Structure 1
Amino acid sequence: MEQQKLPNSTLILVFGILSIVTCCCYGLIGIILGIIAVVLAKKATQLYIENPELYTGIQNVKTGKILAIIGIALSVIYLLIVVWAITAFGWDTLQNQELLQERIQEMMGQ
């Protein structure tokens, strides 16, 4: 019987990579892509476990899942930093570079 590639194995890998690359887009895009990759990887892994002799490409699925988890973690960290900056400085301060520098100097005690 001829082996076939696991469904979505390349897509999982691409979404895992993109979740890391897009983690700096306020964290939201990276979280979404990472979650999609993890869900697809879970389905592909279950399919592979049922019939391992029928499928190839499990390494792409494993790598994509690891990258997606890293992307989710980085995106959550970045999102938390953005939320902290907005609450600490305010949205108007973040829009004005001079005012932001003044607030940072105030926080540093200068």
Structure 2
Amino acid sequence: MTALNQARQLLEDTRRTVEKSDDPMSRRTVEKSDDPYVISRFGDWQIRVDVAAALLERADTHPSPVASTEAQIAAAEALIFASNTEFELTGQRTALPPSLDDPLRWKYQIVGNYHLNGVL
């Protein structure tokens, strides 16, 4: 499963968990969250997933080493955000298999070197 698909799956799983959880402040079961913070976290999460999907689509339609690397970075960052936000909102963290074969710091260097110096 790709990092993007993992981020999407965590988003969906966390949404279901948040919808079914009890609100400890009011001692009631919440059907949909009305907490502005939770709502904004899901908005941020969805945008990160959508950006990663758009960059992946661009890399598929206009292949280049940089486009592919940008898509990999966005997907990895969406997954990192997903994992952290899942823990933040539910107190649980889904164990994720390693999804990157090399550190993100090298991927950022590839993109930066291309955009700054024109080097592939």
The bucket for the TM-score relative to the shorter chain is 0.3 to 0.5
Higher Cα Rg, which structure: 1
Could you tell me the TM-score, scaled by structure 1's length?
Answer: 0.35
